Chains A and B, each alone.
Chain A
Amino acid sequence: GNSVTQMEGPVTLSEEAFLTINCTYTATGYPSLFWYVQYPGEGLQLLLKATKADDKGSNKGFEATYRKETTSFHLEKGSVQVSDSAVYFCALTNSGGSNYKLTFGKGTLLTVNP
């Protein structure tokens, strides 16, 4: 079955530091890949996505590239802010008949200190 593995947290950074959160996946076919963000006390919201190999998703200074050869979708940001403190989830959808279901990683808590 499908699975998503992301680096365990928590991750603590100083403001303006570089961020990488690793995500690798196991899936059949050609899944779509997502990063969701959950701010404290809120539901999840889509941060970025990529639907095919070599696609780069980007939003709010965050980027991730769909690497089929390494089955990875690592999240990066060049300069984090205190407001980026949140839990980040990597996720994928199946390809084919049941591609409306999301499989999530366990989440990575990011804390950014001023």
Chain B
Amino acid sequence: NAGVTQTPKFRILKIGQSMTLQCTQDMNHNYMYWYRQDPGMGLKLIYYSVGAGITDKGEVPNGYNVSRSTTEDFPLRLELAAPSQTSVYFCASSPLEGGEQFFGPGTRLTVL
């Protein structure tokens, strides 16, 4: 049981480049989330999904897009990378409302 896996672990992008952060969970959870963690700022919710085919914006969605075609996968897309998107990104999943969220190991992204 791998839990929540994220790839890549590290990435450096140039301004204006695009990339997709991958997230997969093998626990058959309905709920999935993307957060960003900036130093001293806690975690901010970017997007979330309550099931395959259903996504919605969180607190800080600008500059990002998501899709949820399967229960297992929830990729996060950056179309035009900006320095303000330098952060650590965490994917998480949960089996039910208001329950424990299980986090992946994170992707550290630097935009130069």
* Residues on A facing B (Cβ under 8 Å): 4, 32, 34, 41-46, 49, 51, 89, 93-95, 99-102, 104-107
- Is B50's CB within 8 Å of the partner chain A? yes
Cα–Cα distance between A112 and B4 once the two chains are bound (Å): 29
Cα–Cα distance between A98 and B111 once the two chains are bound (Å): 33
A45–B103 CB distance below 8 A: yes
* Residues on B facing A (Cβ under 8 Å): 4, 31, 33, 40-43, 45, 48, 50, 58, 90, 92, 94, 96-106
Please pick, from B40, B43, B50, the residue contacting A100 in the complex, using a CB distance under 8 A. Answer: B50
Please pick, from A94, A100, A104, the residue contacting B42 in the complex, using a CB distance under 8 A. Answer: A104
A93–B42 CB distance below 8 A: no
| Interchain residue pairs A-B with the least CB separation, the first 6 | A43-B103, A99-B98, A104-B42, A106-B42, A100-B97, A44-B103
Cα–Cα distance between A4 and B41 once the two chains are bound (Å): 12
